[in-house]
Amino acid sequence: MYIVVTGAAGFIGFHVAKKLLGEGYKVIGIDNINNYYDTGIKFARLNILQNQQNFIFLKCDIDQYDELNKGLDGFEVEGIIHLAAQAGVRYSIENPFEYTKSNLTGFTSILEIAKSHKINHLVYASTSSVYGANKNLPFAEKNIADHPIQFYAATKRANELMAHSYSSLFSIPTTGLRFFTVYGPWGRPDMALFKFTKNILAGEEINVFNNGNHHRDFTYIDDIVDGILKAFNSPPAPDINWDSYNPVPDSSFAPFKIYNIGNGKPITLMKYIELIEKYLNKKAKIKYLPLQPGDVVNTASNITSISANLEYKPLIDVSVGVKNFVDWYLDFYKENNDA
């Protein structure tokens, strides 16, 4: 039996696939290796996975259902961890059709694969961005999440609703995971930690939006992977206490569940930058800019539900996590503090 991991050459998908392989699982990794960011790091991640036993790679666009279905033909699929998506908040403002393709049509393909293979569980990536205009911090799964402020978040919220329909119609257990600002080694070059580290080393300015007045619930990749696998190993059952007259959004009469995965200890963006400076031993040249369209000012995760139900407990403090990233970056790019 295989576990399918989509987005296997991506940041989170790579770490999940690597962890599963290390625990003896058979993994089919799916990725289209698109050029949204530097493909070099994607191939480097993929090379690590392909050097391990029990890994099969399928290069495929998930929105191409027939191709995806053909590629999986003949394999017994136990479950799917769906992490492939068109990521990026700001990119979605100018390129909405890329999100329609990957996040909506692509997710429909995954749901159809889940149905046809009669899988035990579909776990998929959602995002803290779904909370949108809601300012009731910390964000909890029982909060309304129907006011997204950018299209990326709208597609992810749509994924949650689409998953519920398949859980209801076909009794497919589905779990949506709302990630809070994931960071760590092998991270995405389009994200703040990566860009800040690169620019500080090069002596170039870093753009700090909202004049640095952001708070973020930075969550280390190892903690995210731990939460994903705990969720995957605990398929949801129908909630016998679910009340259709007073419906809660994070469970259902169907086998459906939504969890936050965060660190639960938000910090200021400026503190984050100070940590990068500390471990690079180099000061940043900061260009302060106004708030960008689509940006959420503050995020904070209520992780009571996942902690109680799945015994999830984030372990990596942000100071340790940033150091781990910087160490990885310097090694991967063969940089040094004078670069």
Tell me the C-alpha distance between 253 and 216, whole Å.
33
Tokens of 61: 């666009």
Q: Say yes or no to pLDDT of 321 above 50.
A: yes
Residue ranges per domain, the chain? 2-182+219-262+300-314
Give me the helix-helix angle, 318-332 and 192-202, nearest 10°: 60
Q: What per-residue confidence (pLDDT) applies to 335? A: 52
Q: What per-residue confidence (pLDDT) applies to 292? A: 84
Q: What per-residue confidence (pLDDT) applies to 337? A: 45
Confidence bin at 248 (pLDDT 50/70/90): very high
Radius of gyration of the chain (CA): 19
Active-site residue, from 152, 220, 272, 312: 152
The pLDDT of 32-57, averaged and rounded, is: 96
**pLDDT digits 0-9 by tens, 56-111:** 999 999 999 999 999 999 999 999 999 999 887 778 888 999 999 999 999 999 99
Q: Say yes or no to pLDDT of 338 above 60.
A: no
Average pLDDT, the chain: 95
Domain spanning 2-182+219-262+300-314: which superfamily?
A: NAD(P)-binding Rossmann-like Domain (3.40.50.720)
Confidence bin at 326 (pLDDT 50/70/90): very high
Amino acid at 90: R
Tell me the C-alpha distance between 289 and 157, whole Å.
29
Contacts of 5 (CB under 8 A, 6+ apart): 13, 16, 17, 20, 27, 28, 29, 30, 80, 81, 83
Q: Say yes or no to pLDDT of 154 above 60.
A: yes
Is 152 marked active-site? yes
**pLDDT digits 0-9 by tens, 46-65:** 999 999 999 999 999 999 99
